[in-house]
Each structure stands twice: as C-alpha cells, then as structure tokens.
A = this chain, B = another copy of it.
C-alpha cells in the first residue's frame, strides 16, 4: 500500500562525541522516507527545500523509489537548517542554530495522487501544517500517524490537540507524553491520550526502547544495545518510518501486527544511529535487516 510522508527535508550540522558532520542531509521526512523505502515503493513525499538542496540527494531519494511530485523546490530560498551538539551521554543535546528558511513559507499542496495514500506519517511540523495536510486527504486512509514535540505543546497546545484528535496513532517521547497528559505514569498518560482521539500510542524512550499502547494492551520494543552510537539524530523518525513502512507493506493494523511493526522500526533505528545522518540508511541489504531482526528476537525472547 502507499505511504504519505510529510515533514522536513533539510541540512543538519551535527556534533557528537565521535566527531562533527557539516551540512549533511537530514530532516524528519528524509529519515522517514529512507526507512520506509526498505518495505514499500509507493512513498509519496511532501516537503519543501531551497535551491541549495543538491540534485544528487534528490536523485538518491528517487533511486529509493520515493515519489517526489510533492517536493516543492523554492528557487529563491534556502533549505531548513539545524545545528546541534550532543552531550556525552547522547541522550540530550543543545540546539545551536535553527534557520527555518523556506520552511517558514511551507504550505503543502498535495498532488492529486497523494490524497488517497492508504497510510500517512505526519512528521514533526507546526500543527497548522499537519492540519492542512489532513484537510486534503480523501478520507480513505487505513491509518494516520503523527509525530510532534514539546515545543508545540508549549506554544500551540489547543491547535495541536485538534490535530491529535484526528489521527489514529501518535508517536511522542516519554517526557512529551507526560506533558501532553499531565500524568507522570506512562500507563495513565496513555489512557488520557486515548481520550484525546488516537487509538494507538507509541511512546519513544530512545536507548530505552519504545512502548505501544492500545486499549488496555501494552507492548514493549527494546532498543538494540550497541557497542557504539555514533549519532542519534533521526533515530525517532527512522523508527517511525520503519514502523509505517512495515504497516503499509503488510496492510494490517491489528495490535499483533503493530508489535512486529515496532520491532522493524527499532531495527531500522538501530542502523540509523551507527553512522552520521542518513548514511547508514542509504544502502542496507535485506539480509542486514533480517539479521538485525534475528538479534532482536534473541534479545527479548524466552520460554518458560
């Protein structure tokens, strides 16, 4: 089935304890699309870049089967730019620069062929833009998922809640789940968030894995313990891209299948963090993914 991905396509300058990468390609929509491309070839990307975005990177996305009809290229603008520096523990980071550039004018107009995408992944953007995308869909979607962040909870909570009320699956981190719900316990937070609309909630905990909530069911997907985490940038988006890509491929939104989707998401994220930026996501083989999935099975499965 088809997957609509929307979010930033951007440049990042990233410093981690392992080194620094200057102006490499990043952005939520980029990570989501690359991760999903290992599962499906009907990825409808909607994003905006400036004239500075390299043609070679556009070709690389196309080569992964990503449909770029919805990629706006603003010839007189610069692409969104983010610069961040990670702390030694890699769990926290300082934002050094955020240049919105062309993102300030992003007014996504979906191509006709995008409007019936069966699956949708709304990457982290202003709630107003996420809402505009929802308004253009034809209503035939099997599952609509969205990501967001604490920043929008701070400055646009009501508008954010309106968007949340219209999606099936919300992916946020543990602190965001607490802020959104006002509950410290993640179990209670999930129940509060279900009252806001979504039927599924994924709480991302970075190196501590991710929790899937649905009604009274809970599933836990660990993060793979790795000898080296080079760069955590994009891991959450890669997780979401792998998850939605698998869901679109299998076209099954049962809780049992969502479990598998979470593990595929964790597997894709485990590759992402092993190199800078999207580097690790450009040339994975199906064998590498299968091998990582086996490692996940060994990591958590036991018999009584």
A contact residues vs B (CB 8 Å cutoff): 88-89, 184-188, 205, 208-209, 211, 217-220, 222, 225-229, 256, 259-260, 263, 293, 297-304
Residue of A89, A260, A300 with highest tally of chain B CB at under 10 A: A300
Known: A88-B184, A208-B208, A302-B263. A225 touches B229 (CB 8 A): no
Residue of B188, B217, B256, B301 near A227 (CB, 8 A) is B188
Residue of B208, B299, B300, B304 near A293 (CB, 8 A) is B304
Docked Cα-Cα span, A184 to B89, in Å, equals 8
Please give, as numbers and ranges, the residues of chain B lying within 8 Å of A88 by CB-CB distance. 184
Interface pair A222/B220, CB less than 8 Å apart = yes
Please give, as numbers and ranges, the residues of chain B lying within 8 Å of A205 by CB-CB distance. 208
Docked Cα-Cα span, A88 to B178, in Å, equals 12
Interface pair B187/A227, CB less than 8 Å apart = yes
Q: How many identical chains are in the complex?
A: 2
Docked Cα-Cα span, A253 to B303, in Å, equals 15
Docked Cα-Cα span, A255 to B304, in Å, equals 13
Residue of B186, B229, B299, B304 near A220 (CB, 8 A) is B299
What 7 pairs between A and B have smallest CB-CB spacing? A259-B302, A208-B208, A187-B227, A220-B222, A300-B300, A220-B299, A187-B225
Q: How far is the CB of A35 from chain B (nearest CB, A)?
A: 18
Pairs across A and B, CB under 8 Å, 8 listed: A89-B184, A186-B225, A188-B227, A205-B208, A209-B209, A219-B299, A297-B304, A300-B300
Residue of A184, A222, A303 with highest tally of chain B CB at under 10 A: A222
Please give, as numbers and ranges, the residues of chain B lying within 8 Å of A185 by CB-CB distance. 226-229
- Closest B residue to A264 using CB positions: B304
Q: How far is the CB of A205 from chain B (nearest CB, A)?
A: 7
Q: How far is the CB of A289 from chain B (nearest CB, A)?
A: 12
- Closest B residue to A295 using CB positions: B218
- Closest B residue to A183 using CB positions: B227
- Closest B residue to A229 using CB positions: B185
Docked Cα-Cα span, A222 to B88, in Å, equals 25
Interface pair B222/A222, CB less than 8 Å apart = yes
Please give, as numbers and ranges, the residues of chain B lying within 8 Å of A218 by CB-CB distance. 225, 298-299
